[in-house]
Amino acid sequence: RSPSRGLGDVYKRQEGAYIIVAGERRYRASTLAGLPSIGCIVTQGDPAELALIENVQRVDLNPIEEAEAIERLMQSHNYTHDAVAGILGKSRVAVTETLSILKLPANIREKMKSLDVKRSALRQLVRMDDQTQAEAVARIEAGETLTARDAEALKKKVEPTPAKLAIRALYA
């Protein structure tokens, strides 16, 4: 994903010194291996921004960590969904859907971080009412997977709230 795949991103300070923004582990490994040099990309960008972008593009982030990193990037640089999408090489829709995961209550997000929950399942949780969400979370914690079809079945299974019953009565 990263345009610098296999390389480190290095930021050049005005004083002439360099700062490794991304690729610290590659640098250390090459030093231990006794390599005289390694490839890198020298940039004049904002080191904090570059580090955040590199963090978002890591492969091992779970969907919640990715959403939190995108949100930090947006807040720290006043980026729109379109701007972040362009920077990360993703569609605006993908960015918006990823950020929608942050609408989950904090306690559910924390539970889901430690479990291997797919992005699509998290998006389904966002669309559920509290009662259905609680049942879905319990199932996920019990080791079940949550597909879109499972989520729809759960929504239909849950007893309607008094408000939903009143709305149904109006349109009956």
For the range 73-82, what are the long-range contacts, defined as Cβ-Cβ under 8 Å and sequence gap of 24 or more? 73/49, 76/48, 76/49, 76/52, 77/46, 77/49
- Find the catalytic residue in 24, 141, 144, 152: 24
Taking the C-alpha atoms of residue 74 and residue 33, their distance in angstroms, rounded to an integer, is 38
24 classed as catalytic: yes
How many degrees, rounded to 5, is the angle at CA 61 between CA 140 and CA 90?
A: 110
Catalogue the active-site residues.
24
